[in-house]
């Protein structure tokens, strides 16, 4: 349970109309240099003498002795004038949050990168006061202490403001402390102190900037702090997922306090199974019955939730027990009629796996093999379709997890449709993480699984099929257990009934994962997060002289293949060192090249990628 909440002032609890920013800019620019907005943003939360000194240097001038100090005095005068013209206001929800926390027995301390000469008038103009002082009786907000840069040997990102707050309130254990702020250095200082590090977006710092920091939560505003699970008054309280708004999950929330779910020993940077949220894992902790209305309703919800992700009512969803490959085999084996023939486009292990399945099932098929590091060539597809009119279906992997390349799905769909062919897409590792316009592009069947971008745990695959196409497949199956049509018909007629034992725990966790995908803002937001993860990863690896295999224009945000670095490098040692540091990466799957892979999907964030590449730098041998 948390005992102390530390809040930054300007931008976090107090809206000073950005005047600190303006005053800082003016104080620096008075010296004749020009300040870049990015630099200003980066130095905002730091103590102001240091910030002024750094900004003058960034402006290309070596500050004379005492200049930064003199400009700091100017800064205070400019700020006081600006405040008089436009008095600061509490940020929406801040007053209520600070009061609520204190009423729950949590101590509240305000910290700031200003000195007391700035902070004191600021507080007075707000009508806020420190407990035990004469102003406290009539104050709008009472806090337990205010800590300014005069009180510490160094400002943020050093953690001392937070330590001083602990000292002032007699809190002994940093694990009982949260610290919230709106700038990158606020988050960094909180992380450095060991407190729960919370970034808030109310101060105007772009989300991408804060996302690069090692935060525990990113919240829209301080008002969301009271909903953190760490502050839950009861175990029944609903739990938010990390970095998202509090989730309102229909099912597993309210069952277990996610805080009781053990942390993972390491982050899985493998493209499924992947790192899941505690709230998803919480859903696994009960045994659930299957043969009743509740479970069938759950299955219906999951199927409807999947169809909703296609954005089109033309589709129907079928769930199939087993790993993703079982669903691929079920699809290929169930949708080709006796006179059908499939053209398989292969540029990686998963494309070739479809050929293996077609061989084993003795399906009429042709495969075009492309190099693993090149995307499918649409012209060759068109030529193959022109040359062989017996072909009725085209099958392709969207994101080839072998390398992380993204095949040109829209273009392949267009050429297949122009030839009147049906489309089978293995979107196993992309569905939910990359936007796919299934109806617009004319995809007839799309297959994926529970443990990829929906961020569930392994146990079943699913096929999204055009309703009319599914109906056509009656009696086509080459396998009883993997009969997709029969499973679909059972789910339709039985209103959510599975054939054979269903992976109940997994389905419950998946329903939670689908709710969390919606709460994150849907596929678009998730895709943006994965893209930010991947960009942070590639940048950090490049800084360690590790290069990507796939050209950036064909690279997916899902998984990235890297060449072994040049020089002394042993993958087994590298893997073990990273695992000891809390990261599990993936060996390569290319026969021609020495590569390894890093997945950027799951409950992972740009801050995690930053920590990974920091660990890479620590273990560097090349």
- Active-site residue identified among 8, 53, 444, 519: 8
Shortest separation between residue 609's beta carbon and ligand PLP, angstroms: 20
- To the query of whether residue 48 is one of the catalytic residues in this protein, the response is yes
CB atoms within 10 A of CB 160: 20
Where are any strands of DSSP class E within 91-216? 107-111, 128-130, 141-143, 145-147, 177-181, 196-200
Rounded to the nearest 10 degrees, how much is the dihedral formed by the CA atoms of 332, 336, 342, 344?
-10
Verify cis geometry, omega within 30 degrees of 0, for the bond prior to 353. Answer: no
Cβ pair 415, 421 in contact under 8 A: no
Question: Nearer to ligand PLP by C-beta: 341 or 589?
Answer: 589
Query: SS3 of 405, please?
Result: strand
The C-alpha angle with vertex 19 and arms to 35 and 157, in degrees rounded to 5, equals 65
Query: SS3 of 286, please?
Result: coil
Rg (CA), the chain: 28
Phi, psi of 272, deg, nearest 5:
100, 120
Shortest separation between residue 29's beta carbon and ligand PLP, angstroms: 53
Cβ pair 357, 334 in contact under 8 A: no
Sites of contact with ligand PLP (CB under 6 A) = 271-272, 323-325, 328, 350, 397, 401, 426, 428-429, 449
Tokens of 267: 């982050």
**Distance between CA 452 and CA 455 in Å, rounded?**
5
Shortest separation between residue 434's beta carbon and ligand PLP, angstroms: 12
Please give, one letter per residue, the 3-state secondary structure of 199-237.
EEHHHCCCHHHHHCCCCCEEECCHHHHHHCHHHCCCCCC
Shortest separation between residue 257's beta carbon and ligand PLP, angstroms: 31
**Distance between CA 355 and CA 323 in Å, rounded?**
18
Question: Nearer to ligand PLP by C-beta: 106 or 447?
Answer: 447
Q: H or E segment at 328?
A: helix 324-335
- To the query of whether residue 8 is one of the catalytic residues in this protein, the response is yes
Shortest separation between residue 92's beta carbon and ligand PLP, angstroms: 44
Shortest separation between residue 322's beta carbon and ligand PLP, angstroms: 8
CA-CA-CA-CA torsion sign (467, 289, 513, 402): negative
CA-CA-CA-CA torsion sign (135, 137, 141, 147): positive
Q: Which residue is nearest to ligand PLP (CB)?
A: 324
CB atoms within 10 A of CB 9: 27
Question: Nearer to ligand PLP by C-beta: 192 or 449?
Answer: 449
Q: H or E segment at 599?
A: strand 595-599
Shortest separation between residue 128's beta carbon and ligand PLP, angstroms: 54
**Distance between CA 194 and CA 172 in Å, rounded?**
12
- Active-site residue identified among 47, 48, 115, 444: 48
Query: SS3 of 358, please?
Result: helix
Question: Nearer to ligand PLP by C-beta: 43 or 460?
Answer: 460
Shortest separation between residue 85's beta carbon and ligand PLP, angstroms: 59
Shortest separation between residue 498's beta carbon and ligand PLP, angstroms: 19
Q: Is 238 left (phi over 0), alpha (psi -120 to 50) or beta?
A: beta
CB atoms within 10 A of CB 503: 19
CB atoms within 10 A of CB 569: 16
| Eight-class DSSP state of 548 | B
Q: How far is CA 549 from CA 59, 528, 591, in A?
A: 38, 22, 13
Shortest separation between residue 451's beta carbon and ligand PLP, angstroms: 7
Q: Would you name the residues annotated as active-site residues?
A: 8, 48
């Amino acid at each position: 349970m948390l005992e102390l909440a530390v809040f930054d002032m300007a931008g976090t609890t107090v809206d000073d109309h950005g005047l600190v920013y303006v005053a800082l800019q003016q104080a620096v620019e008075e010296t004749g240099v020009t300040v870049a907005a990015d630099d200003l943003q980066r130095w905002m939360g730091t103590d102001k003498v240091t910030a002024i000194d750094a900004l003058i240097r960034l402006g290309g001038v070596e500050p004379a002795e005492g200049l930064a100090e003199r400009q700091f005095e100017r800064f205070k005068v400019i700020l006081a004038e600006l405040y008089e013209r436009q008095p600061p206001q509490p940020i929406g929800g801040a007053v209520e949050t600070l009061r609520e926390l204190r009423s729950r027995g949590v101590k509240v301390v305000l910290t700031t990168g200003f000195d007391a000469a700035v902070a004191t008038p600021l507080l007075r103009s707000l009508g806020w006061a420190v407990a035990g002082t004469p102003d406290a009786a009539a104050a709008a907000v009472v806090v337990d202490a205010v800590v300014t840069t005069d009180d510490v040997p160094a400002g943020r990102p050093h953690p001392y403001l937070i330590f001083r707050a602990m000292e002032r309130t007699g809190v002994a254990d940093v694990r009982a402390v949260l610290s919230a702020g709106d700038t990158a250095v606020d988050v960094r200082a909180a992380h450095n102190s060991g407190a729960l590090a919370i970034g808030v977006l109310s101060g105007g710092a772009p989300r991408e900037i804060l996302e690069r920091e090692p935060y525990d939560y990113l919240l829209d505003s301080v008002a969301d702090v009271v909903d953190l699970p760490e502050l839950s008054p009861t175990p029944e309280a609903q739990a938010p997922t990390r970095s998202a708004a509090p989730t309102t999950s229909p099912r597993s929330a309210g069952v277990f306090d996610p805080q009781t779910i053990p942390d993972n020993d390491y982050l899985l940077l493998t493209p499924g199974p992947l790192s899941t949220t505690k709230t998803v894992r919480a859903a696994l902790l009960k045994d659930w019955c299957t043969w009743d209305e509740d479970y069938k309703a759950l299955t219906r919800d999951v199927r409807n939730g999947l169809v909703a992700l296609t954005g089109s009512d033309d589709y129907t969803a079928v769930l199939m027990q087993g790993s993703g490959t079982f669903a691929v085999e079920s699809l290929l084996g169930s949708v080709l009629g006796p006179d059908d023939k499939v053209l398989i486009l292969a540029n990686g292990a998963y494309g070739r796996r479809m050929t293996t399945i077609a061989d084993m099932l003795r399906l009429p098929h042709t495969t075009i093999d492309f190099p693993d590091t090149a995307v499918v060539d649409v012209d060759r597809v068109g030529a193959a379709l022109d040359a062989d009119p017996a072909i009725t279906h085209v099958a392709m992997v969207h994101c080839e997890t072998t390398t992380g390349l993204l095949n040109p799905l829209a273009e392949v769909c267009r050429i297949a449709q122009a030839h009147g062919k049906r489309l089978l897409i293995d979107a196993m590792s992309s569905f939910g993480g990359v936007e796919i316009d299934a109806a617009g592009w004319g995809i007839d069947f799309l297959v994926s699984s529970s443990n990829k971008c929906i961020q569930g745990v392994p146990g079943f695959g699913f096929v999204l099929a055009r309703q009319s196409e599914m109906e056509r497949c009656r009696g086509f199956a080459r396998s009883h257990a993997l009969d997709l049509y029969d499973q679909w018909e059972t789910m339709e007629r039985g209103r959510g009934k599975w054939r054979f034992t269903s992976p109940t725990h997994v389905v419950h966790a998946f329903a939670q994962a689908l709710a969390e995908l919606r709460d994150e803002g849907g596929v678009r937001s998730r895709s943006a997060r994965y893209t930010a993860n991947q960009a942070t990863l590639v940048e950090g690896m490049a800084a360690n002289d590790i290069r990507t295999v796939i050209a950036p224009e064909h690279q997916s945000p899902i998984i990235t293949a890297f060449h072994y670095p040049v020089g002394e490098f042993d993958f087994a040692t590298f893997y073990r060192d990273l695992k000891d540091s809390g990261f599990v990466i993936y060996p390569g799957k290319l026969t021609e090249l020495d590569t390894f892979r890093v997945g950027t999907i799951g409950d992972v964030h740009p801050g995690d990628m930053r920590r990974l590449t920091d660990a890479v730098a620590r273990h560097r041998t090349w």
